[in-house]
Amino acid sequence: MKTAIAVNAATGKMGQQIIDEAIDHTAIDLTAAFCRSAHPFYNKTVRRSSNTSYSNDIDKGLSESQVVIDFSLPSVTVALLERAVLAKTPLLIGTTGFTEQQLTLIDSASQVIPILLAPNTSIGVNATLSLLSKAASLIGKESNIEIIESHHKNKLDAPSGTAIKMGNVIADTLGLDFSERSVYDRSETNTPRSESEIGVSVVRAGSIVGEHKVLFALENEIISIEHKAQNRKCFAEGAVKAAIWLAKQNSGLYSMKDFID
């Protein structure tokens, strides 16, 4: 049986990629594509012979869907969250850049509906997280650890949700608190780095889709673990597969790891 999927912010870069992925997928029925009424796509049929039109009737779209995928802005996700709870529609969140307060709202909503919160939906990045945990357990204590992430010039949040996730995975493995160990700016300190800090550097340039490199620097050698997204399809593929899985779960807060494992 096909899974009925709604796509929020369907006109965005990721929204469009999800639409492409969903339309081509034999196990998916694209039941709704939400966009703002001011957008030129509004009321137009979603491409390639789909029967679905772009709409902003979110309540109707959610009630007809088994899961909704959201890659938008934190404030837009939070507005959708309320409607998804009312409609009891599972929600896959790919949006990044949430405040602690917004994360608390997501956590509360997950008591009512299944929510998958994924700062990165690519299967490759999630495999990279496992490699990072392994590297941290082998050599993390003796290494100077640095995370370097690069994205396109229009990305709003920094550092990326993926860089923060990588930092948390490494810190958790080492029994550290990433928020206490992370260092984003050394311009004022004028001191050598401390052993247990985790440096995070951000590049914003051109049309870079998403690159993350983590250095484990020892005295005489460096291990570098790197993931480069070649295009947005890797995020859409993972999101759509995870959404099919999420539609069948009970209420709760899930990560990509729960889906992959």
Ligand X SMILES: NC(=O)c1ccc[n+]([C@@H]2O[C@H](COP(=O)([O-])OP(=O)(O)OC[C@H]3O[C@@H](n4cnc5c(N)ncnc54)[C@H](OP(=O)(O)O)[C@@H]3O)[C@@H](O)[C@H]2O)c1
Give catalytic residues, as residue numbers. 151, 155
Nearer to ligand X, 90 or 94 (CB): 94
Give the single-character DSSP code of 162: H
Query: Per DSSP, what are the bridge partners of residue 130?
Result: none
**Rounded distance, CA 80 to CA 77, Å?**
5
Residues that bind ligand X (CB under 6 A): 9, 11-15, 35-36, 39, 71-73, 76, 94-97, 118-122, 235
Selection from 243, 217, 103, 252 nearest residue 164 by Cα: 103
In the bound state with ligand X, the residue whose beta carbon lies nearer, of 11 and 50, is 11
The residue of the chain with the least Cβ separation from ligand X equals 12
Distance CA 111, CA 91 (A): 12
> Following CA atoms 41, 160, 215, 182 in sequence, which dihedral angle do they give, to the nearest 10 degrees?
180
What whole-number distance in Å separates Cα of residue 237 and Cα of residue 9? 17
- Number of C-beta neighbours around residue 79 at 10 A: 14
Measured CA to CA, the distance from residue 237 to residue 229 in angstroms comes to 12
Give least dist CB 235 to ligand X, A.
4
Q: Least separation, in Å, of the C-beta of 61 and ligand X?
A: 13
Do 92 and 246 form a contact (C-beta atoms < 8 A)?
yes
Amino acid at 87: A
- State in angstroms the smallest separation of the CB of 230 from ligand X: 13
The least distance separating ligand X from the CB of residue 17, rounded to whole angstroms, comes to 8
Q: Give 62 or 176: the residue with its C-beta nearer to ligand X.
A: 62
Tell me which amino acid residue 176 is: L
Residue number, 119 or 199, with CB nearest to ligand X = 119
